[in-house]
Amino acid sequence: MAPLVLHVTGARPNFPKAAPVLEALAAYDVEQLLVHTGQHYDDKMSDIFFRQLGIPKPDVNLGVGSGSHGRQTAAVMSALEELFEERRPDLVVVYGDVNSTVAAALVASKMGITFAHVEAGLRSFDMTMPEEINRLVTDKLSDLLLTTSTDAIGHLGNEGTDPDKIHFVGNPMIDTLLKNKDRFDAEAARAELGLEGPYIVATLHRPGNVDDPADVKELVDAMHAVADQAQVVIPLHPRGRARLEEAGFLDHEGMRVIDPLGYLEFMGLVRGAAAVVTDSGGVQEETTVLGVPCLTLRPNTERPVTITHGTNQLVRRDNLAEKVREVLATGPLTEWDVPPLWDGHAGPRIAQILADSVGAAKRA
């Protein structure tokens, strides 16, 4: 019987990372089971990704839904424990730093199941971020740590990780980006939204920006100063709008709030942007490869390689408008660095390591 490799996904950022691994691992003599925990559960946050990226529909959808960090993590753990007992996977693979990732790590490690973390070793050193806690716990429990950048290797080494567990593989999310790059239609995005002239895309959801009323007020003022210079388009889930609307976020003719987009539509919008203002992790990576200036509205980033080898820079609310002004004055980039091994072949490198770990050969 072929060994069973079980992939756990739970949220929108996981899917572009998992797609190239699933595809590449299909070339080996393994059985694969794709599990969607349902942490993100509406169409634009999950299902559309499977359709657009050619990922088979999940074999199992646990449907845990939203909730506090503790309740959501506990719900995923309970459901995964039952599933792991039933299916007895030889290897569990997780992606990124969401609650589903750390839940799977805890369950697999307690059941003695070999466990692999794709995107291991990223660190913001900011323990107020739930994702940082998820990353630290997951990496500590992992048997295979698959890293996207050389700084991640250094972090794991500094934490005393066995070097034999660490593998530098590159970034599978960039595999997905490069595979679909010709489908990112900036002009279609511009036409669909009626955008004229330079525009800026914003993605803002971190607690440090949108939870405290004083922070929200500063954010609104900063984004209005950005909208004075160019139209701002911000995809925002309806559940996330209320606090920003109450603070007057939309009280500027240059602010354009739209519903969340599918992967292809969002990447088309980003590709045509003069700049992106974000507090998201993955967007920092995508803009780095697309050559779109990225202004990360955070005091830190777990992806510093996007600054040293890319288009990203950290900004504050009090200097955001000035940084936007500089980007608009510079105009589109013609040359920029891209991090090592962000070459579209991370999926096959990861698949080889996973196959070796369960003793699976390539199919004839």
Q: Which residues are catalytic?
A: 205
Handedness of CA 15, 77, 35, 258 (dihedral sign): negative
Tokens of 166: 């660490």
Angle of helix 281-290 versus helix 263-271 axis, rounded to 10: 60
Helix-strand-coil split of the chain, %, nearest 5: 45, 15, 35
Q: How far apart are CA 62 and CA 41, in angstroms?
A: 10
Nearest to 184 by CA among 262, 263, 267, 289: 267
Q: How many CB atoms lie within 10 A of CB 88?
A: 11
284 half-sphere exposure, CB direction, 13 A CA radius: 24
Rounded to whole angstroms, the Cα distance separating 29 from 1 reads: 9
Residue found under tokens 């288009």: 311
d(CA 12, CA 330): 32
Nearest CA-CA partner of 229 in 192, 248, 258, 255: 255
Q: Which amino acid is at 190?
A: R
- Write out the two tokens for 165: 């567990």
Helix (H/G/I), strand (E/B), else coil: 12: coil
